[in-house]
């Protein structure tokens, strides 16, 4: 998968693609054949930031699929919109400026065949937070004490928004409690963790995790 153009991104307000982003792209590329075979109708990226992941998926899968990005940062929504335009991804996408999946109906929609989220995963005490840009830039990386505060809020809602047999791709680091994340996902009706890719970089051991929604969970 080619990295989309993102020169229009303003790094003062939007998370700039880096190792975690590119490892996620590599993992999706590795799974591309099975993703295509599963014929997804709607793909949702939570926290698209620059939009490069969603745009690369759109370039690879084309217009047979609808792409939805949900980001808490309006700057990220605007940047992702531009990334789609600059990379000529067509018009079958939409962006919502919201907190996780709070903008969706609470029950029974189960419409996403694939959900992707590179969440704020850095373990951080509240006292370490620097309130840059109304806190929006801090929210791109600050995952709370265990680094999983945002994921822990999302996971219980995932079973309501992912279709049976659908896939969830998450980015995590080994400093996060990966065992509890696995248990939380199992409790929410997903398969055990599959590590699609991992890479050690300075100060972090990145993991790209894949989960599949069990068929019988409605
Ligand atoms: C680590 S960045 C990842 C950006 C991009 N997906 C990438 O891989 O380069 C996390 C993104 O999640 C967004 N985000 C953080 N908390 C969120 C929330 N509660 N709801 C929606 N988006 C959120 C941030 O604004 C940011 O764009």
pLDDT of residue 44: 97
CA distance 171 to 47: 12
Query: For a pLDDT cut of 90, what percent of the chain falls above it?
Result: 79
How confident is the model over 100-159, as pLDDT tens digits? Answer: 999 987 765 779 999 999 999 988 876 555 666 667 778 888 888 889 999 999 999 999
Structural domain count of the chain: 1
Measured in angstroms, how far is the CA atom of residue 71 from the centroid of ligand 1?
6
Report how far apart the first and last C-alpha atoms of the chain are (Å, whole number).
Answer: 33
CA distance 74 to 42: 22
Q: Is residue 131 in some structural domain? A: yes
Question: How much is the mean pLDDT over the chain?
Answer: 92
pLDDT of residue 126: 66
Q: Is residue 87 in some structural domain? A: yes
Span 2-11, average pLDDT: 95
Query: For a pLDDT cut of 70, what percent of the chain falls above it?
Result: 94
Task: Determine the residue of 139, 141, 176 to mutate for testing ligand 1's pocket, defined as the one with the most ligand atoms within 8 A of the Cβ atom.
Answer: 139
Q: Which atom of ligand 1 is nearest to the CA of 136?
A: 25
User: Looking at the chain, which runs of residues are DSSP E strands?
Assistant: 42-46, 66-71, 93-97, 112-117, 162-173, 194-201, 204-212
**Per-residue pLDDT for 168 more than 80?**
yes
More confident of the two residues 134 and 3: 3
**Per-residue pLDDT for 201 more than 90?**
yes
CA distance 31 to 1: 11
Range of the domain at 55: 19-212
Q: Is residue 26 in some structural domain? A: yes
Span 43-68, average pLDDT: 97
Q: Which atom of ligand 1 is nearest to the CA of 76?
A: 27
How many CA atoms are closer than 13 Å to the CA of 157, on its beta-carbon side?
17
Q: Is residue 151 in some structural domain? A: yes
Q: Which atom of ligand 1 is nearest to the CA of 54?
A: 6
Q: Is residue 120 in some structural domain? A: yes
Span 28-53, average pLDDT: 97
Measured in angstroms, how far is the CA atom of residue 216 from the centroid of ligand 1?
30
More confident of the two residues 129 and 197: 197
Question: What distance lies between CA 142 and its chain's CA centroid?
Answer: 15
Closest Cα to atom 16 of ligand 1: 139
pLDDT of residue 112: 96
More confident of the two residues 184 and 109: 184
Residues contacting ligand 1 via CB (< 6 Å): 15, 17, 21, 24, 46-50, 53, 70-73, 76, 99-100, 118, 120, 139-141, 150
Q: Provide the CATH number for the domain around residue 199.
A: 3.40.50.150
**Beta sheet of 93-97, edge-to-edge order:** 93-97, 66-71, 42-46, 112-117, 162-173, 204-212, 194-201
Q: Is residue 6 in some structural domain? A: no
pLDDT band for 82, please (50, 70, 90 cuts): very high
Task: Determine the residue of 3, 4, 24, 72 to mutate for testing ligand 1's pocket, defined as the one with the most ligand atoms within 8 A of the Cβ atom.
Answer: 72
pLDDT of residue 142: 86
């Amino acid at each position: 998968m080619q990295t989309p153009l993102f020169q229009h991104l303003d790094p003062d307000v939007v998370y700039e693609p880096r190792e975690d982003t590119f490892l996620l792209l590599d993992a999706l590329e590795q799974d591309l054949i099975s993703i295509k075979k599963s014929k997804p109708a709607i793909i949702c990226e939570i926290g698209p930031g620059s939009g490069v992941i969603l745009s690369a998926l759109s370039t690879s899968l084309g217009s047979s699929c609808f792409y939805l990005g949900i980001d808490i940062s309006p700057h990220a929504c605007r940047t992702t919109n531009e990334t789609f335009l600059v990379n000529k991804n067509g018009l079958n996408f939409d962006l919502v400026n919201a907190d996780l999946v709070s903008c969706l109906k609470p029950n029974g929609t189960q419409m996403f065949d694939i959900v992707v989220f590179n969440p704020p995963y850095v373990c951080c005490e509240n006292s370490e937070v620097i309130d840059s840009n109304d806190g929006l830039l801090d929210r791109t990386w600050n995952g709370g004490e265990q680094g999983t505060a945002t994921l822990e809020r999302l996971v219980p809602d995932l079973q309501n928004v992912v279709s049976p047999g659908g896939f969830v791709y998450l980015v995590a680091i080994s400093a996060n409690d990966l065992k509890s994340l696995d248990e939380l996902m199992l409790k929410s009706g997903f398969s055990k963790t599959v590590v699609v890719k991992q890479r050690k970089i300075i100060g972090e051991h990145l993991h790209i995790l894949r989960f599949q929604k069990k068929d019988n969970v409605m």
